[in-house]
Every structure is written in structure tokens, then in C-alpha cells.
Homo-oligomer: A and B are copies of this chain.
Amino acid sequence: MFEATKVGRKLSKQSFKEQEELLRAELLQIQHALKKSDIPVVVIVSGVEGAGKGEIVNRLNKWLDTRGMQTFAFWDETDEERERPRYWRFWRSLPSRGKISVLFGGWYLTPIERRVLGKCTDAELDAELSRIVDFERMLTLDGALIIKFWFHLSENEQRQRLRLLSRDDRSKWKMHPQRKKFSKQYAFFEKNAERIIRQTDRGIAPWYLIEATNRRYRDITVGKTLRDAIQDRVDSPHVADTQITSHSPTLPDGKNAQVTILDHVDLSQKLSRNQYKSKLKGLQKKANKLIWDSYNKKKSIVLVFEGWDASGKGGAIRRFTNAIDSRLYRASSVAAPTKEEQARHYLWRFWKEIPRCGYITIYDRSWYGRVLVERVEGFASDEEWHRAYSEINAFEEQLTESGSTVLKFWLQISQEEQLRRFKEREKVPYKRHKITEEDWRNREKWDEYKLAVNEMVIRTSTEYAPWTLIAGEDKLFARIQVLESICSAVESALRK
């Protein structure tokens, strides 16, 4: 694979100067066009040690308008990062539409290092790589352009380069003790690099292999590649999904499926006020203790509440939050996205709020809006909400892998009960704001929503992040059920 990067391509000083002048103008022009587009650009700079990744980043900083780009390195992790799913730091560095993020190594740095240092097996590496492919596809389908550079040197060239570098004060830092080893195992490193590149070189986010022996050739090539890749995307912004159709089971056609999973929820379940009161007290006490235990064991909890309008989400949430220390949780209510949020993938705003180890985030409505309101109201295209299921599953998988407990509640009520509550809300002054024309409109689309909910529950009820359907017809019963579910899930998470 790397033969083409060892042929000794060169550029004379004169030729470099001539090409550079033109290229800089072109790059600025294309960056200007990019700014007006809705394309976020991710540039990944990786390759063998000594290939000059830092020099390239400096060059890009010189050539491009730095107001439209930012550079991120991932060499030292902060505890805020360590205490969240691994990809949190990458989400933090994603550019907004029209901007460029240059990532040192990006999500490739860790897999390569771990494999070369023998910290993971080939199989584990493959699993990680297929996650990367999914991640990149997700970003690309959302409109991102991902440009991945791999800078390569021959073994001989690398040895010479590293020897020179290690003599020079200015570059001694590159001699990271662990990385130094990489050059001693050139063949093994190259073999693994090849594996990684091969498996993640998809049409949707291809790799560019660049010979790094001659600095001038290297940099001009980077500049031109960048220019062409951005130009191409600006000219034809539509990205087709090259993935083979998903293997998710087909669901019975909506119109013919009158009975959904929601119809199996027994809405007749009830609690008397006395039963409620006595249960509530015990459960709140228990929840308080469990949440403190979670905090002490540094386990996070993510709670998602979805349900029909007026199904009692807020009330159920409050019965839980009243029981726990308000320093331990953050409540996130989904409002209209801000400009900053709109300029990024729809999951970005939720990644931002992911709790640190030991803390709780409660989402009152969530990323499931994508497959509910956005689907029904047509805010998301068919392709967009269809692929959201697997994106969401991957997201929640990462949450649980990092040690979070993910619990999702759907609060179910009947159409009649909703009507009754709407009318009641209109009577109570402090509830009146909760009922808007939109709620009435949504009500008219009950059947469409029901189908969407059904599909959502089926497609995203995973072993690691199951849905709990709550019979919400009786508020008291629902609240107790929610509390009980939280307690038992946290209890079993603590036992692990």
C-alpha cells in the first residue's frame, strides 16, 4: 500500500514558490466559498513519526484564514474528558458548518498506539475501526467533509529524520519515549497502519497517502488535496449513502398495523393516594442513598423522558429530583436549538450535556425528537430519521461503555386522558403556559406519532439501554413506577 509514498517525489524551491503563491490564493477563495456553505470540514493529520505533522499544521495555519479554522490535539486528556465517553473530546472539536477543524491524529491516534504497543488484539482493533467507520459515515451523511491525511516515510528516511530531529532542541519533543519505539518496529507499525487505513478507507471518507520525504512536495500536495476536496464538495454538496442497506428487520406497514406495542401497556393500573404516599417516601429515601452511592463509585446516570404531551413527564421527574441532592444532577429540557447547535450534527447538543462520572443528566425530551417530532412533522428527511436509529444506538452504546446507566422512559396515556388533562391545564393559571396550539395540533396526528413511537421503541430498545414503558393514565402509579425503575437499575449497576 505504501509503495507509492516511497518513490522520492520532490519539488524544487523555485517551483514551490511559484505554486505556493497561486495555491494560497486558491485556498483562501475556496475557504470563502466554504464559509457560505453548510459544510463542516474535518481534516485529520496522521502518519508515521518524523513525517512532520506539526510542520504541516503550521503551514495550514499560515495558508488558511485562521478565523475559519481551529486546531485540536489529543495528546493529553483532561479529567473532564476522561470522565466521559471516549468520543466526547472529538465531539467537542467538531467544526460548525462552514468551518474547518484540523485534528492531530483524531480518532486514529489511540487505536494505532494501542495496537502497536500490544495493548489490544487485532479483533479489538477491528471492532474499534468499524466504530470509526460508523462515526465517519454519520458525520458525512450529516453533510461533513472528512479529509484524512496519512504522511509516510520509508524506513531509512524515517531513521535519518528522527536522528536529525533528536539532535535539534526545537524538535526534541517529537521524541516521545513511547513513540520512539515505533520507529524501531517500523515494519510492525506499517503493517498495522495499513490495516487501519484499509478498513477505514471508505468512499465516503477516503484516505490521502502522502509521501513526506520532501517537505515542499508534502506541503504543496496537502494544499492541493485540500483545495480539490473542498471544491468538489462545495460544487456537489449532496452525499449519497454508500452503505449497503441496513439489516434491521422490516416492520409491519404502518397503515395496516393498528395494534402497536403501546397498546399492550395496561393503562388501568392505579394507586390510591395512601398507597402512593407510603411508597413514595420509601422510594425517595432509597433513591437518595443509591444516587449517593453512585456518586461515590463515580457512576453516571442518563435518564431520558419521552411521552405524549401532558403525560406527566415533568411530575415524574420532580418526584425523583426532589429526592436527590440538587448538586448531583442537571436537568436538560429540549427547547428550539440555538444557532450554534443548528450548525452541527443533531446529536452534538446532547453530547455537550453528558454528565461526568458520578453525576446525573435528566433529559426532558431528548435526541429521540429526531425520530418522533422531526419525523412526523417532516423536519428531518426520510433518510435522516431512518439512519437516526443506528446513530442513537451507537451513541447510547458509548454511554454505557463508559460506565453510564442509560434509562429511557416512555409515558403512555390514552387520547381521552390527554384531552382531559389539556382541559384541566387550561383552567389552572400556572399550568396554562404548558398548553399551546402546537399541543392541539400534535394531538391531531396521534396515529402518526403512535407509529413513530412504536418503531422507536422497537428499533432502539437495546440490551444496554432498554425502554421502559410507563402506564401514565394514573399519575401516581406512573411516578412510583419511574422511581422503582430508576432504583432497580441503579442498584444493579452498583452491583457490577
Are B28 and A430 within 8 A (Cβ)?
Answer: yes
For A432, list chain B residues within 8 Å (CB): 25
Give Cα A80 to B340, complex, Å. 23
Known contacts A79-B79, A80-B79, A327 near B54 by CB under 8 Å: yes
Known contacts A66-B333, A71-B330, A326-B54, A61 near B430 by CB under 8 Å: no
Distance between A141 CB and nearest chain B CB, rounded to angstroms = 25
Distance between A448 CB and nearest chain B CB, rounded to angstroms = 25
Please tell me if A137 contacts chain B, counting CB pairs below 8 Å: no
Distance between A176 CB and nearest chain B CB, rounded to angstroms = 11
A299-329 interface mask toward B, CB cutoff 8 Å, 1 = contact, 0 = none? 0000000000000000000100111011100
Please tell me if A292 contacts chain B, counting CB pairs below 8 Å: yes
Distance between A280 CB and nearest chain B CB, rounded to angstroms = 12
For A285, list chain B residues within 8 Å (CB): 169-170
A61-86 interface mask toward B, CB cutoff 8 Å, 1 = contact, 0 = none? 11101110011010100111000000
Interface size on A, residues (CB 8 A): 56
Contact of A21 among B24, B25, B335, B428 (CB under 8 A): B428
Closest Cβ neighbor of A102 among chain B residues: B326
Secondary structure call for the A interface: helix
Distance between A115 CB and nearest chain B CB, rounded to angstroms = 22
Known: A32-B433, A61-B331. 15 other contacts (CB 8 A): A21-B428, A24-B429, A28-B430, A29-B433, A54-B325, A54-B327, A58-B326, A61-B326, A70-B330, A71-B326, A73-B327, A79-B79, A169-B289, A170-B284, A339-B340
For A192, list chain B residues within 8 Å (CB): none
Closest Cβ neighbor of A28 among chain B residues: B433
20 A-B pairs in the complex with CB atoms less than 8 angstroms apart? A21-B430, A24-B430, A25-B429, A28-B433, A58-B321, A58-B326, A61-B331, A63-B430, A67-B334, A67-B335, A71-B326, A71-B330, A75-B327, A78-B80, A78-B356, A79-B79, A80-B80, A169-B285, A169-B289, A172-B292
Residue in A21, A70, A327 with the greatest tally of chain B CB atoms within 10 Å = A327
Please tell me if A57 contacts chain B, counting CB pairs below 8 Å: yes
Known contacts A285-B169, A433-B28, A66 near B364 by CB under 8 Å: yes
Binding site for B on A (CB under 8 A): 21-22, 24-25, 27-29, 32, 54, 57-58, 61-63, 65-67, 70-71, 73, 75, 78-80, 104, 169-170, 172-173, 284-285, 288-289, 292, 318, 321-323, 325-327, 330-331, 333-335, 338-340, 356, 364, 428-430, 432-433
Closest Cβ neighbor of A284 among chain B residues: B170
Distance between A315 CB and nearest chain B CB, rounded to angstroms = 9
Are A21 and B429 within 8 A (Cβ)?
Answer: yes
For A335, list chain B residues within 8 Å (CB): 67
For A327, list chain B residues within 8 Å (CB): 54, 73, 75, 104
For A67, list chain B residues within 8 Å (CB): 333-335
For A62, list chain B residues within 8 Å (CB): 318, 322
For A79, list chain B residues within 8 Å (CB): 78-80
Closest Cβ neighbor of A59 among chain B residues: B322
Are A22 and B429 within 8 A (Cβ)?
Answer: yes
Distance between A17 CB and nearest chain B CB, rounded to angstroms = 12
Are B288 and A430 within 8 A (Cβ)?
Answer: no
For A66, list chain B residues within 8 Å (CB): 331, 333, 364
Give Cα A105 to B41, complex, Å. 41
Residue in A24, A63, A173 with the greatest tally of chain B CB atoms within 10 Å = A173
5 residue pairs, one from A and one from B, having the closest CB atoms: A24-B430, A25-B429, A73-B327, A25-B430, A170-B288
For A322, list chain B residues within 8 Å (CB): 58, 62
Residue in A28, A29, A430 with the greatest tally of chain B CB atoms within 10 Å = A430
